[in-house]
Amino acid sequence: MRATLAGLLMWGVCCDGASAQDRDRNTAGSIHGGTMGLGMEIQQRLSDTLVVRGGVDRLRHDFERRYGGVDYEAGLDFDTVGVFLDLHPFSNALFVSGGGYMGARELRLTAEPDAPVEIGGAVFTPAQVGRLSGEATLTAVSPFVGVGFDTTFTSRRRVGLRALFGVAVGEDPEVALTSAGGTLSNHPAFRARLDIEARRIEQEAEYSLYPVAQIGLTYRF
């Protein structure tokens, strides 16, 4: 990825004096990174004010998060396809964008408490709890709105810069929480407490509005 970005930047410097024919090129490819992960896109200019984009993104991000009274090792797994329409109202680099993301988006949770924790309104010991595993499935289709700056079709250069900021809108995630290795892992009453805890995590997860920020390089061909 770094080598590709460096190559594109060098190409942009070399092509500063691009011809009028280059400016008439209406198709571009891009690579980018951001909160949706690393991705690639194809852009097609429809007019001086409209550009359609389509691409793929992949995100693998591990972090720590506390839900209720439990500290979890968490991870985001995104494999998405996006389709967008960009409006350049002033026929320059500034644009507003609308579209949507589609595909698998999951939140993984694991925890192995080393002290008593509250689960579903009751307190349990580490031996009773064992290892907790959770999975939250986010909305498969998320509408997107945003604003950005894109020089792909407004510069003499064949290499352009694109920055985008917005939000993907979905429903609250559905969480499944299980236990393994604990003395109560298979006990019906404890499993009922896990279901209560899963509902609480759903309320705290707050992924119905997911911030999208991206920056990348484009190349007209």
The per-residue pLDDT for range 135-157, each reduced to its tens digit, is 998 888 999 999 999 999 999 89
What would the mean pLDDT of 106-124 be, rounded to a whole number? Answer: 96
pLDDT at residue 22, rounded to an integer: 56
Q: What pLDDT does 17 receive?
A: 40
Q: What count of residues does the chain have?
A: 221
The pLDDT score that the predictor gives to residue 172 is: 80
Q: How many other C-beta atoms lie within 10 A of the C-beta of residue 51?
A: 22
Distance of alpha carbon 157 from its chain centroid, rounded? 29
Q: Quick one: which of 127, 122, 130, 116 has its CA closest to 177? A: 130
At residue 79 the predicted structure's pLDDT band, cuts being 50, 70 and 90, is very high
Q: Which pLDDT score, from 0 to 100, does residue 8 have? A: 38
What residues form DSSP beta bridges with 165? 147, 213
Domain boundaries, the chain: 2-220
- pLDDT: is 78 or 18 the higher one? 78
The closest of 169, 164, 172 to 144, measured between CA atoms, is 169
Q: 2-220 domain in CATH 2.40.160.170?
A: yes
Tell me, what's the pLDDT at 21?
54
Model confidence, pTM: 0.83
